[in-house]
Amino acid sequence: MKKFGFLVLLFVFGLVFPGYSHAAVDTKIILDGKEIVQPSDAKAEIINSKVMVPIRVISESLGYGVEWKQSTSTVTISKDNTAMQMIVGQKTATVNGSNVNLDAPPLVKNGTTLVPLRFIGEQMGLKVGWNNTTKTVTLVTQNSGSGNGTTTPPNSGNNGGSTNEEGLVLVNGISFSDNRFFIATSGETKPNVFTMTGPDRIVIDLPNTAFADSFSEGQALDSNQNGQLVVSGYPDVSKIRYSLYSNSPSTVRFVIDLSSAKGYDVQNDSGLIMVDLNKQGATPTPPVGDNGKKVVVIDAGHGDHDPGAIGVTGKREKDFNLAMALKVEALLKKESKIDVVLTRSDDTFLALSERVKIAEKVNADIFISIHANSGPAAANGVETFYTRSTSKELATIMHKYLLQSSGLKDRGVKTASLHVTRETTMPAVLLEGGFLSNKSDEAALFTESFQNSVAKGIVAGIKEYLGIK
């Protein structure tokens, strides 16, 4: 499913108001240093711990057109080539025809439509800040450069530099791929990493940290803030356990359970910690991209609590995306001139910014995100998206092979401002393998023959672009 989301500092205020209650004080909205005038009887407010804002005043302040259709309770927001549509009471919106999940359904109060601020930030290219003292939301457009002296919001699940009210760095998500353990945090923290025996394990303590709200959405956390990530397919590691190890200071601990003693390397940069287990004895194995190898990052879209598009028979996009990524990985591992890194290798969740961080961390040569589409029942076929002009050649080549290997209708190569293709610095594309909302496409997407063929096509496209015979 296509995500037409722009860069946003995702957040939750960290204040829980039961039921349908309002914030204790008026919430102000500041856009690029100027306060937005809100309807006196329908201002921004916190409802069920979600910040809801009057859509018209924000949209029109940003130059978007807003249309309200009373008969269907539908609000449509449009500008340039982007059209967003939401229906009151429904938790699914559409952006340029693709479904996007909302964290709260829109509602109408005194004739004004209130929508989740998180969605607005994602789709309109805003950076969001929160001043807990004045209860003020700050919205900053990407080109304004306005800081306004605010702090980033507590419990933000997706971005660098944010802390909660106690000044703690937040742990946003984790992933294990290719014997590398990734920890995404909202800011800088200095990990204390050491080994223990009986049984063998690697311990990673992150001082002055806490779990972000978004972490519990992607990984299981019990009432005592303990959980584990089951690892399969890697004989060195059986599972990874995590917990809020200490309250003074607040410390999140990760424990990698090993089958035997194992060497490791630790890298810590820009809110992404990587514990690399690809090391033998005192001599580490060659790093990613060593000896002139090209580094390819394969990104399986969605995951865990985010299923992506749902097919006509209930099949989930996230399952197709992961199956394809694993098949592409297996083929690329046979290529002696290519190193492949997956953003996720199982049913886990990573925020879009964290997927980008992984690609930047390993200095990827190309980034390829795999998705399946959704739209009207009659819509079918494959399409390829890119954002930056430097990605056009990659998009053209990858689409050629996607079209040939899938046998589906050609919907062309298109440009769109997608987070993973926009925020990466290497050539990056997003492949839409077919429409789950189309009965024929959905039936094809989940067959071994289709997946094997498309995986081979993706690898062929990668090799042609990289000039590898």
Q: Note the maximum CA span of the chain.
A: 70
Among 62, 90, 101, which residue's Cα sits nearest to residue 78? 62
Spatial separation of the C-alpha atoms in residues 451 and 431, rounded to whole Å: 13
**Kind of pairing, strands 112-116 and 107-109?**
antiparallel
Phi-psi region of 14 (alpha: psi -120 to 50; beta: other; left: phi over 0): left
Residue 115 has a pLDDT of 86
pLDDT of residue 272: 85
Distance CA 141, CA 8 (A): 10
Neighbouring-strand partners of residue 256: 202, 240
Q: Which residues contact 380 (CB under 8 A, 6 or more apart)?
A: 408, 409, 434, 435, 438, 440, 441
User: Annotated active-site positions, please?
Assistant: 432
CA angle 350, 354, 360 (to 5 degrees): 140
CA distance 421 to 7: 11
Report, as ranges of residue numbers, the positions in the chain whose pLDDT lies below 50: 1-25, 132-133, 144-163, 165, 281-285
For 389, the token pair is 């002009």
Cα–Cα distance, 154 to 104 (Å, whole number): 19
- Cβ density class 131-157: b for 16+ within 10 Å, e for less: beeebbbbbbeeeeebebebbbbbbbb
Q: Is the pTM of this model over 0.85?
A: no
Per-residue model confidence as pLDDT tens digits over 242-295: 998 887 788 899 999 998 888 888 888 767 898 988 865 433 345 566 678 999
- For residue 249, the number of C-alpha atoms closer than 13 Å in the C-beta half-sphere is 11
Question: Judging by DSSP bridges, how do beta strands 294-300 and 366-373 pair with one another?
Answer: parallel
> Domains in the chain and their CATH numbers?
28-141 (3.30.457.10), 169-284 (2.60.40.3500), 290-466 (3.40.630.40)
**Looking at this protein, which amino acid is placed at residue 141?**
T
Look at residue 157 in the predicted model and tell me its pLDDT. 33
- In the sheet that holds 366-373, the strands lie side by side as 338-342, 294-300, 366-373, 428-435, 382-386, 410-415
User: How many Å apart are CA 439 and CA 227, to the nearest integer?
Assistant: 38
Q: How many CB atoms lie within 10 A of CB 82?
A: 17
